[in-house]
Amino acid sequence: MKILYFTKGGRNVPSSNERVWIISDLLKAHYDWASDILSARDASFWDALKKLYASKYDILIVHKSLFSVWVFALIVLARFIFQKPMVFDLDDAQWVHSPFKSKVFAFTARMVFAGSHEIKSWVERYNKNIVLIPTLVDHEHFARSPAVHGEKPIYTLGWVGAGPGHFQDGNFHLVKPALEELGRRGKKIRFRVVGTRGYEPLETYLKSDLYEFEAVPFVPYSEVPKQIQQFDIGIMPLVDTPFNRAKCGAKAIQYMACCVPPVVSPVGENAIIVDDGVNGFCARTTEEWVSAIEKLLADAKLRSEFGVRGQEKVAREYSHMAVLKKYAHTVETL
C-alpha cells in the first residue's frame, strides 16, 4: 500500500504531526506501507501535479481543506478522472472558514475520518461513510513525563496551545475571574501559559496581583510533555461556539497522557473525553471553575488518582497504537 497524504504542515504543526506524520511512521513500521506527504505550506501546484498524476499511489488521504484553489482542484480531478480512492480527514470545523472546499471534499471522498462527534454529525449531511478517528497523542512520548502530585508551596495551573487565537476567541476570559477568586481565597497558584507567542494583549490581560502568571512564548512539540509534567492541573476553557463544539479536545488528552487532571469547559468532545468526577472535572460557570480547582488543590491523592485514570483512558482510546489497527483496516478495504 502506498499513500499520498495532503496536510496543513510539517511535524511542527501539532494536528498534522498527530494525524499524518506519526500515523505514516507507524504504518511503515507495522505494515510496511509507504507514504509521501505534501503540506499546504510547502507544496506548489507543480509538486501536487507530479504526485497526483503518478500511478504509484493506491489512495489519497486529505487532512483538512487548507489548500490553494489549484491544489484543491487537482485533488478533486484526480479523485474522478483517475478514480483514486480518497479519504477526507477532518479534525476541526474547517467548514466555518472554508465551506466550499470542505463540502466538496466531504461529498466526493470515499470515506471520511471524523475527529469528533460534532464533526461526524456535520459530515453526515454529505457522506454516510464515516469512521470516528479521535485526536490522538503519541502516548509513549507523553507517558514518559508523568506529573508527580504532592503538597507544594505554590501550585501550577497550566494551559498549552496557540495562545493568541484562544485569547481572541475569548477562551481565557472564562477562567481569569476564577483564578482571581482563588487568589482572594488565599490559594497560592501560578498560571503558566505555554504558547503565548509573545502576544502582548494576551500576556497583559492574564497578569494579576492575585496570582502568579508565567508566559512561555513557545516550545517545540517534542518538549510539550516536559512542560505539562510541571502542571498540577491542566485547564481547557472553551466558549460554546459552533467552531469550538467541533474541537477534538487535544489539550485535555495531552494533560491526561501526562497524569495531569484536567478541568475543562464541557463543550463538544471535552464532555466525552473527560469523565466528570472520575478523571477530571467539567466547569461551566466561574463558581464551578473555582470549586473544581479548589477540590484538586486540596487533595494530592485525588489529583494522583485522576491522573492515573486519565492516562489509562488515553492509552485505551486516544493513543496511536489503540487506533492504528482500525485505521489500517479502513484504508485497506477502500
- Rounded to the nearest integer, the mean pLDDT of the chain is 95
User: Does the pLDDT at position 156 exceed 90?
Assistant: yes
pLDDT reported for residue 260: 99
Nearest to 300 by CA among 147, 192, 176: 147
Residues 99 and 227: their CA atoms lie apart, in Å, by 36
pLDDT reported for residue 96: 92
Question: Quick one: pLDDT band at residue 251, thresholds 50, 70, 90?
Answer: very high
User: Does the pLDDT at position 55 exceed 80?
Assistant: no
User: Does the pLDDT at position 52 exceed 90?
Assistant: no
pLDDT reported for residue 83: 83
Please give the share of the chain, as a percent, with pLDDT higher than 90.
85
Exposure string for 115-132, b = 16+ CB within 10 A, e = fewer? bbbbbbebbeebbeebbe
Residues 53 and 65 in one domain: yes
Residues 142 and 313: their CA atoms lie apart, in Å, by 13
Residues 312 and 328 in one domain: no
Residues 28 and 1: their CA atoms lie apart, in Å, by 10
In the chain, the amino acid numbered 17 is N
Residue, of 193 and 49, whose pLDDT is higher: 193
Residues 73 and 163 in one domain: no
User: Does the pLDDT at position 53 exceed 80?
Assistant: no
What's the pLDDT tens digit per position in 262-273?
999 999 999 999
Residue, of 97 and 232, whose pLDDT is higher: 232
Residues 169 and 107 in one domain: no
Residues 66 and 40: their CA atoms lie apart, in Å, by 7
Q: Is 289 helix (H, G, I), strand (E, B) or coil?
A: helix
Which domain covers residue 21, as residue numbers?
2-136+320-332
User: Does the pLDDT at position 41 exceed 80?
Assistant: no
Q: Is 61 helix (H, G, I), strand (E, B) or coil?
A: strand
Residues 163 and 246 in one domain: yes
CB proximity list for 81: less than 8 A, separation 6 or greater:
none
Residues 112 and 182 in one domain: no
Residues 201 and 184 in one domain: yes
Residue, of 236 and 81, whose pLDDT is higher: 236
User: Does the pLDDT at position 30 exceed 90?
Assistant: yes
pLDDT reported for residue 78: 84
User: Does the pLDDT at position 45 exceed 80?
Assistant: no
CATH of the domain at 174: 3.40.50.2000
Residues 156 and 65 in one domain: no
Task: Identify the top-confidence range among 26-40, 129-143, 290-304.
Answer: 290-304
Under 8 Å between Cβ of 76 and 103? no
Residues 12 and 179: their CA atoms lie apart, in Å, by 31
From the number of C-beta atoms within 10 Å of its C-beta (0-12, 13-18, 19+), residue 209 rates as exposed
From the number of C-beta atoms within 10 Å of its C-beta (0-12, 13-18, 19+), residue 157 rates as buried
Residues 51 and 306: their CA atoms lie apart, in Å, by 47
pLDDT reported for residue 81: 80
Residues 171 and 101 in one domain: no
Residues 188 and 247 in one domain: yes
Residue, of 48 and 254, whose pLDDT is higher: 254
Residues 166 and 169: their CA atoms lie apart, in Å, by 5
Residues 104 and 250 in one domain: no
What's the pLDDT tens digit per position in 253-301?
999 999 999 999 999 999 999 999 999 999 999 999 999 999 999 999 9
- Number of domains observed in the structure of the chain: 2
Under 8 Å between Cβ of 78 and 49? no
Residues 71 and 197 in one domain: no
Record the pTM: 0.94
